[in-house]
Amino acid sequence: MEFKLGLIGYPVQHSLSPFIHQKFMENTSIQGSYQLFETEPHQLEKRLEELKRADISGFNVTVPHKQAIMSYLDEVDSDAYRIGAVNTVVNDKGRLKGYNTDGIGYVRSLAEAYPNVFQQEKKALILGAGGAARGIYRALVKQGIQGISIANRTKSKAEGLLDLQDLHTETEILSFSEAEAALDNFDLIVQTTSVGMSPNHDEQVISLNKVKPHTVVSDIVYKPLNTKLLREAANLGAKTHHGHTMLLYQAQYAFEIWTGAHPQMESLVEQLEQRLRGNGYVNR
Ligand code: ATR
């Protein structure tokens, strides 16, 4: 079987997904293609009809369609429904089902680098409360992390994450300055806002002054590869976890949903790093 895969979003021309999925196909000996479908908001419905007619096997969804697409799908997986965003769609003979692979991708990438970080007594701080934070919060709760704090510029938006837990997890909502003051309490700090993303690479959402050396500081921004926050974390002797690994593992989970095959990741993290370096996305 030949898999027809792709990405809808606007803009999409700089996406790394074709590179990643091409590698997955080589790695699993699966035949197929991964195409970019640049789609402005007013073109969404027409694009979905086109993709169904073209017998697409599945596709990823990115900005600005992750929420809007939900009303056009025949079914939405329960996690994606609770998170309120879809980034992966399967086409089953014209029936479209949506999933969200961000949270699980994040957890997989973190577990690969730091397997002990999910022990129950650990405390996590999430910075930000957007779509990515919702997926990651839900995945961390499911991992059994008992204490999670969420800090966001708009506090009310952080409160909106509380309805995402099925299992009980102690969750507190903080301001950024409260989070900075309590930083030495956390074993894991996850930065999910767009602060620090190229071209605003000189920005940092909070100061890490009080971070402890055993703490893992994780930034889901991958352009640049080493954000200002991660550079400060490394300078202070803390552990770091980079955003491009989440990008890879959320793609791995999407590929599994579409094809049933499990790509090996060994050299891919380095290959993606090289590609990001080639684009000049290292320290700027
Ligand atoms: P995503 O899907 O990538 O999570 P999003 O849903 O638009 O994107 O969420 C963006 C997140 O980045 C939010 O937490 C947002 O904070 P607000 O809820 O207060 O808007 C945060 N964010 C974006 N720009 C920011 C800035 N300059 N300072 C602080 N937080 C910022």
DSSP code string of 207-249:
--TT--TTPEEEE---SSSS-HHHHHHHHTT-EEE-HHHHHHH
Q: What is the pLDDT of residue 284?
A: 38
Tokens of 114: 């730091």
For residues 108 and 124, what is the distance between their CA atoms, to the nearest angstrom? 16
Q: What is the pLDDT of residue 163?
A: 85
Q: Is 157 in the pocket of ligand 1 (CB under 6 A)?
A: yes
Q: What is the pLDDT of residue 16?
A: 96
Cα(162) to centroid(ligand 1), Å: 17
Active site residue 66: yes
pLDDT in tens, the chain (284 residues): 899 999 999 999 999 999 999 999 999 999 999 999 999 999 999 999 999 999 999 999 999 999 999 999 999 999 999 999 999 999 999 999 999 999 999 999 999 999 989 887 899 999 999 999 999 999 999 998 989 999 999 999 999 999 887 767 789 999 999 999 999 999 999 999 999 999 999 999 999 999 999 999 999 999 999 999 999 999 999 999 999 999 999 999 999 999 999 999 989 999 999 999 886 555 43
For residues 94 and 48, what is the distance between their CA atoms, to the nearest angstrom? 10
Instruction: Please provide the distance, in angstroms rounded to a whole number, between the alpha carbons at the two ends of the chain.
Output: 42
C-beta separation of 228 from 203 below 8 A: yes
Ligand 1 atom at minimal distance to the Cα of residue 63? 2
Ligand 1 atom at minimal distance to the Cα of residue 192? 4
Closest by CA to 151, choosing from 181, 177, 122, 176, is 176
Contacts of 209 (CB under 8 A, 6+ apart): 180, 183, 236
Measure Cα distances from 281 to 227, 249, 276 in Å. 10, 20, 5
Q: What are phi and psi of 137, to 5 degrees?
A: -60, -50
Q: What is the pLDDT of residue 210?
A: 98
Binding residues for NADP(+): 128-132, 152-157, 220, 243
Q: What is the pLDDT of residue 283?
A: 47
Q: Is 58 in the pocket of ligand 1 (CB under 6 A)?
A: no
Which domains can be identified in the chain, with CATH numbers? 2-100 (3.40.50.10860), 103-242 (3.40.50.720)
Marked catalytic residue, from 23, 66, 97, 239: 66
Q: Is 155 in the pocket of ligand 1 (CB under 6 A)?
A: no
Q: Is 192 in the pocket of ligand 1 (CB under 6 A)?
A: yes
* Greatest extent of the chain over all pairs of C-alpha atoms, in Å: 55
Ligand 1 atom at minimal distance to the Cα of residue 129? 14
Cα(156) to centroid(ligand 1), Å: 13
